[in-house]
Amino acid sequence: MMRMHNKALRTFLVVLAAFQLSGCLESSFTLSEESRLPKWFAVPDGMSRNQLRVTLDYYTDGDAVFKLYDKNRFISLREIKGITRESHPIKLKNSPPGFPPGRPVYEVITANGITDIIEHRKMEPIFYVTDDPAIWQELGVKH
């Protein structure tokens, strides 16, 4: 009986360690159609921006996974894994006019040595990519 208990405990600890190493899905978003693509994606030859869809999944370990899709054929074209700079979304010192209190929030993400800034304007499953130089400066990122 004791041997079975030890085996179950070891199995539980191995599974727990695996979850801690890989992170768990925290939240998912889709890129706004009015936003540019993140810097690590290019529009594939023969396609236009409006034929593409990008999703973003945040994981508890700080990973951010971006997937580029052909939205007309629901085919995955590319996947990029990035790392968030902070463990939580970043707020600006002064929120811009016209946004709800505490919004927008930002994530500074680096993938393949390229950094971009993700903007979450509202509590919704949509994200944007920002090129506003004032935001890049305030967040301490070279543009």
**pLDDT tens profile 101-136:** 889 999 999 999 999 999 999 999 999 999 999 999
The predicted structure's pLDDT at residue 18: 47
pLDDT greater than 90 at residue 47: yes
Cβ(77)–Cβ(45) below 8 Å: no
CA-based torsion, 9, 14, 15, 19: positive or negative: positive
pLDDT on residue 116: 98
Spell out the domain ranges in the chain: 24-138
Identify the band that residue 42 occupies on the pLDDT scale cut at 50, 70 and 90: very high
Answer yes or no: is pLDDT of 19 > 80.
no
Question: What is the DSSP pairing of strand 63-70 with strand 52-59?
Answer: antiparallel
Could you count the other beta carbons within 10 Å of the beta carbon of residue 141? 15
Environment class of residue 56 by beta-carbon count within 10 Å: exposed (0-12), middle (13-18) or buried (19+)?
Answer: buried
Q: What is the pLDDT of residue 74?
A: 83
- The model carries a pTM of 0.81
pLDDT tens figures, 62-85: 899 999 999 988 899 999 999 999
